[in-house]
Amino acid sequence: MQRDYHDILWGGFLSLLGLAVAVYSATHYDIGNLRRMGPGFFPVSLGAVLALLGVVIAIPALWRAGETRSFAGRELLGIIVALLLFALLMNRVGIVVTAAAVSFVASAVAPRPGIVWRLVLAAVIAGLTWAVFIEALEMAIPVWPWSR
Amino acid sequence: MITHISRRGFSAAAIAIALTAATPVLAQEWPTGPLHVYVGFPAGSSPDTIARMIAEPLAEALGQPVVIENKPGAGGVIGVQQMLAQSDGHSFGVTINGPLTTAQRMIADIGYDAVTDIAPVSLIATTPLVLAVSSDFAADDAASFIEDAKARPGEISYGSVGQGSGAHLTAELFASEAGIELFHIPFQSYAEVTTSILGGEIDSGFMAPSAALPHVEAGKMKMLGVTSAEPFPQVPDVPVLAGQAGLPDNFRAELWDAFIAPAGTDPAIIERLNTEITAILGDKEIQEKLLAIGWKAEGGAPDLLAQRIVEDTELWGAVIDKTEAAAE
Amino acid sequence: MTTLEGLAHGFTVALQPEVLIYSLFGALLGTFVGVLPGIGAMAAITLLLPLTYYISSEAALVMLAGVYYGAQYGGAVASILLRLPGTPQSVVTALDGYPMAQQGRGGVALFTAMISSFAGSMLGIVVLVVLAGWLSAVATEFGAADYAAMMIMGLVAASTIGSKHPAKSFAMVVLGLILGCVGTDVNSGAQRLTFGRTELIDGINLVALAMGLFGVAEVISNIRRADRHGPPDRVTLRQLIPTRQDLRRMVAPVLRGTGLGGMLGALPGTGSTISSFLSYAMEQRIARQPERFGKGAIEGVAGPEAANNSAAITAFVPTLTLGIPGDPIMALMLGALIIHGIQPGPLMLEARPDMFWGLVVSFGIGNLFLLILNLPLIGIWVSMLRIPFRWLYPAIIVFICLGVYSVRGSVFDIAMVAGIGAVGYALSLAAFSPALLLLGFVLGPLIETNLRRAMLISRGDPMIFLERPIACGFIMAAVALILFPMVKSVFRGRRPGALPPDPRGIWTKKKGRR
């Protein structure tokens, strides 16, 4: 039988997360009392509730058949790398180069291989970004590598 | 939000910056490019509006565009941090008092020291707070408010815009100087404090005169006193709290807004900026515009601002010590 | 001045050529920036702020108002076609609008959003005119306990959205509430769960969260899938226009949504978000086939769109009559008024009737412009979907980044989008509802501060929630919402799992999968 692994894993993860939030908040923030609740009151209670809900999600899933959904690992990786690339480049080389680089990297995980169409796409997106955000909306963001 | 006043023709200027960034900026040829003024508040907020009022005439006087960079966050601290992160000789800041006085007590890793890392340029404007109560509240002046509070310690509540905010610290300073105990209820904005006073949920609050004024005119609120040393032009009829009902004569609690530079900026550049800003603040029209949004134009030498930073850090530091001690 | 005289006077103000032109300009620009993910009304208004110093105060405010509701519609376009909601309100629109678009009914979804927004705004104006005085009284009557109770009721009502498993729904709400705790605690000034990062002192960036959970997660799961299906066929005009049955299905949700939005919009801060979620939850609850929701139910687009637009209109009540802005955009507009020497407040209606009524009338005119402008644009927006997805998604990623970056120029927020996007994709695999996470995130800080404030005000006595009539009413409603399904299942026995298929559903399925 194919178990509902998604729910088992997420239930377990949410449980641990809730527990971590509750413990961290309880040790770092004041809980206070009912009249003057401290900053810890909410995170501790919410963490405890989440830990409980995680168990409620995971336990029944152990005996339940679940759907399998294909995991788009390659696509996930490509998009995350593209986003991090934007964070890395934006303040250093400006929007035009960043937009081109990000689109080029993001398009690497597209189902169709090839370099040429991706280069063209990167150029088009960079141009479009420049036209919309810099020319039309006049945003004050770094445009070129030399414009700090 | 990111916007700026004028961008056309920037590319050439930008290249110029890139070429000169390596060499120290010399005062006689300064400014060689557009000035970037970092504001730690969103566009449309009062520190931003003030910065924009100054930016236009300043750009005219210096012959270079003045670009407002809004970097809102952490009560204005992000704006100061962002200014300090630049090192091109053309980055400055407009900030309220918080990031230079109390922020170090509130935020653990603030990343700068207000005395050693900041070069004061000029005070721009100040604003006091008024003690406001609902029109249903019994007391009509500060003296009877204090008397009332002495009769029932800890029962009169006041709203502020958060722990450690100007409104909170002002109220605590007022309470400790008057020898009374008030019940603090934090809110997120003056708007919420106002509604709560109007709805009768809380008794009082220290707030910007312009926030209370419309409700006073409508007969729903009363202003019992103002925290400035002299009567404030926007609400000339409201008596100053200093010297009233046992409060010391030097009682003063004001928010201020100032023009700053990173430490190490050429003194000649500071001097130049100070001269221009002082001239701008001397303009009647600017003064009226400032007053319309609740601020009084100030100006003055860089030393005056430096002194103000030291004084207020000490004043509010003492108040924070007291509230922290009371909380434990 | 009576209401009628006021309105007549309002027309003379709003029909000035200058005012008309700026209204048109505002609506246009608003739609345009609203379509860009993450760049909402706030960015556009900031952009226009310097301009407002130089034009008349009526024109300035009318233009900003135009941007405000134009952006709301533009946001609906992005969330329906690409699942890129930039605001909590458009998250609700995406719930059923996006499935509709995937079934090839994107045109109908846009048309529905457009018409419902228009109807919601127009009816909202009626509510505003008739009830302005009463609404501003309500806004001051609402105390901390009432706000807290209302939002708790809203969370309970909405937590039925989107998932078959109640535990999974609640878990998302609670996770959202926890994420909402990140940042400075207003009451104590403590920095919670920031782990020493200054970027987190003001909390997690809402746009980053919404873009990560929806846009990025959707792109990741769509890259392979979309290419298999290929682009949808060319849309004909007929497919843009709702059928008679569609229209019939829209009427009641629009009216209910308008009512909800009109009432709740007057509450500073929360009205718009709560009313769109509540409207959606309400439509799902009273629908004969609640299973259709989340799979392209037209009521799920019509109700919430009407609700958030009428809320956007009545949101001007506290701003203008109390000088109390409900959200950052209202605060900006308030600032624009004050710069022009107009102090909104209880006396505004008497002191500046021209301003008040001119604004009211121009809302109507602006919305009419919006309708006329956008109906022809629907075809163009929809044809965007014919672009192969492999060309479209890198652009979406770049635009998402820019949208998030534009909020405060922080690359830290972009890194957050990457992390949140990965988590959002994993959540979608397990069929968790990201909409509920976002609702919890938005309402969490409001619930917490109001709850804590209510307890301070009552000096620690929880009875305040039962003693105040408004709060008590909401608490009762929340309890009823929890108990009602249980009681129903006891009396009726369990509902059958599968309902007789909806003839329309079959049709759309066939059409959509061609």
Note the ipTM here.
0.92
Chain B touched by A135 (CB under 8 Å): no
Nearest-CB residue to A86 (from C165, C401, C452): C401
Whether A26 and A57 share a structural domain: yes
Nearest-CB residue to B164 (from C189, C324, C407): C189
Q: pLDDT (tens digit, 9 = 90+) per residue, C141-175?
A: 888 898 889 888 888 888 866 557 788 888 999 99
Whether A45 and A87 share a structural domain: no
Substitution target from A33, A93, A147 for chain B, most B beta carbons within 10 A = A147
Chain C touched by A2 (CB under 8 Å): no
**Which among C96, C145, C40 is positioned nearest to C471, based on CA atoms?**
C145
- Name chain A contacts of C181, Cβ cutoff 8 Å: 42-43, 46
Those chains having 3 or more beta-carbon pairs within 8 angstroms of chain A are: B, C
pTM of the model: 0.83
CB contact under 8 A, B10 and A147: yes
Nearest-CB residue to B7 (from A140, A144, A146): A140
Percent of chain C with pLDDT over 70: 89
What pLDDT is attached to residue A13? 94
Nearest-CB residue to A79 (from C193, C220, C459): C220
How close, in Å, is residue A36 to chain B by CA atoms?
10
Q: Is A103 a domain residue?
A: yes
Q: Is A98 a domain residue?
A: yes
Average pLDDT over residues B101-105: 85
What pLDDT is attached to residue C503? 40
Chain A touched by B4 (CB under 8 Å): yes
Whether A82 and A56 share a structural domain: no
Q: Is A145 a domain residue?
A: no
Whether A50 and A78 share a structural domain: no
Per the model's pLDDT, the better-predicted residue between C489 and C440 turns out to be C440
Evaluate whether C169 touches C436 at the Cβ level (below 8 Å): yes
Percent of chain C with pLDDT over 90: 20
What pLDDT is attached to residue C163? 55
Flag whether pLDDT at C510 surpasses 90: no
Q: Is A79 a domain residue?
A: yes
Whether A52 and A77 share a structural domain: no
CB contact under 8 A, A148 and B67: no
Q: Are strands C183-184 and C191-192 parallel, antiparallel or unpaired?
A: antiparallel
What pLDDT is attached to residue B26? 53
Q: pLDDT (tens digit, 9 = 90+) per residue, C391-418?
A: 889 999 999 998 888 877 889 999 999 9
Fold of B130-226: D-Maltodextrin-Binding Protein; domain 2 (3.40.190)
What pLDDT is attached to residue B328? 60
- Name chain A contacts of C430, Cβ cutoff 8 Å: 6-7, 9-10
How close, in Å, is residue A105 to chain B by CA atoms?
27
How close, in Å, is residue A28 to chain B by CA atoms?
14
Chain B touched by A112 (CB under 8 Å): no
Tokens of C30: 């608003």
Amino acid at C294: G
Flag whether pLDDT at C269 surpasses 80: no
Flag whether pLDDT at B57 surpasses 80: yes
Look at phi and psi of residue C420 and say left if phi exceeds 0, alpha if psi is from -120 to 50, else beta.
Answer: alpha
What pLDDT is attached to residue C226? 67
CB contact under 8 A, A144 and B11: yes
Per the model's pLDDT, the better-predicted residue between C11 and C38 turns out to be C11
Position C109 confidence tier, pLDDT thresholds 50, 70, 90: very high
Residues 76-105 of B with CB under 8 A from A: 88
CATH 3.40.190.10 in chain B is located at 130-226
Per the model's pLDDT, the better-predicted residue between C342 and B201 turns out to be B201
Cross-strand bridge partners of residue B37: B68, B92
Q: Say how many CB pairs under 8 Å bridge B and C.
A: 146
Q: How far is CA C498 from CA A51, C291, C505, in A?
A: 33, 9, 14
Ranges A38-42, A123-127, C46-50, most confident = A123-127
Q: Find the domain containing A33 and state its range.
A: 5-61
What pLDDT is attached to residue C188? 79
Q: pLDDT (tens digit, 9 = 90+) per residue, B271-309?
A: 999 999 999 999 999 998 898 888 999 988 999 999 999
Chain C touched by B104 (CB under 8 Å): no
Tokens of A37: 């609740």
Chain A touched by B6 (CB under 8 Å): no
How close, in Å, is residue A139 to chain B by CA atoms?
6
How close, in Å, is residue C224 to chain A by CA atoms?
6
Give the DSSP H or E segment for B257: strand B254-262
Whole-angstrom Cα distance, residue A91 to residue C413?
13
Q: How far is CA B147 from CA B20, B87, B153, C57, C192, in A?
A: 64, 54, 10, 45, 39
What pLDDT is attached to residue B21? 42
What length does chain A have?
Answer: 148
DSSP symbols for C42-101: HHHHHHHHHHHTTS-HHHHHHHHHHHHHHHHHHHHHHHHHH----SHHHHHHHHHHHHHI
CATH number for B8-127+254-327 (one of 3.30.70.1520, 3.40.190.150, 3.30.930.10, 3.40.50.2000): it is 3.40.190.150
| Helix boundaries (H) for B63-156 | 77-85, 98-101, 103-106, 142-151
Substitution target from B77, B86, B201, B323 for chain C, most C beta carbons within 10 A = B201
Q: pLDDT (tens digit, 9 = 90+) per residue, C113-152?
A: 999 999 999 998 888 888 877 777 777 788 889 888 988 8
Position C423 confidence tier, pLDDT thresholds 50, 70, 90: very high
Q: Is A108 a domain residue?
A: yes
Chain C touched by A7 (CB under 8 Å): yes
Question: How many domains does chain A divide into?
Answer: 2
Side-by-side strand order, sheet with B204-207: B183-186, B157-160, B204-207, B130-134, B221-226
What pLDDT is attached to residue C499? 43
CB contact under 8 A, B109 and C198: yes
Q: pLDDT (tens digit, 9 = 90+) per residue, C73-85?
A: 888 898 999 888 8
Nearest-CB residue to A83 (from C36, C171, C417): C417
Per the model's pLDDT, the better-predicted residue between B212 and C87 turns out to be B212
- Name chain B contacts of C54, Cβ cutoff 8 Å: none
Q: Is A67 a domain residue?
A: no
Percent of chain B with pLDDT over 90: 33
Flag whether pLDDT at B17 surpasses 70: no
Burial class of residue B174 in the structure, from the number of CB atoms within 10 Å of its CB (0-12 exposed, 13-18 middle, 19+ buried): buried
Q: pLDDT (tens digit, 9 = 90+) per residue, B147-200?
A: 999 999 989 999 998 888 889 999 999 998 888 999 999 988 887 888 889 888
- Name chain A contacts of C226, Cβ cutoff 8 Å: none
- Name chain C contacts of A87, Cβ cutoff 8 Å: 411-412, 414-415, 418
Whether A82 and A43 share a structural domain: no
Q: Are strands B204-207 and B130-134 parallel, antiparallel or unpaired?
A: antiparallel
CB contact under 8 A, A102 and C170: no
Those chains having 3 or more beta-carbon pairs within 8 angstroms of chain B are: A, C
Q: How many CA atoms lie within 13 A of B174 on its CB side?
A: 33
How close, in Å, is residue C188 to chain B by CA atoms?
5
Q: Look-up: residue for tokens 């678009």?
A: C101
Whether A78 and A56 share a structural domain: no
CB contact under 8 A, C395 and A103: yes
Whether A12 and A39 share a structural domain: yes
Whether A88 and A52 share a structural domain: no
Whole-angstrom Cα distance, residue C81 to residue A127?
23
Flag whether pLDDT at C498 surpasses 50: no
- Name chain A contacts of B183, Cβ cutoff 8 Å: none
Q: Is A123 a domain residue?
A: yes
- Name chain C contacts of A38, Cβ cutoff 8 Å: 188
What pLDDT is attached to residue B20? 42
Minimal Cα distance from A141: which residue of B?
B2
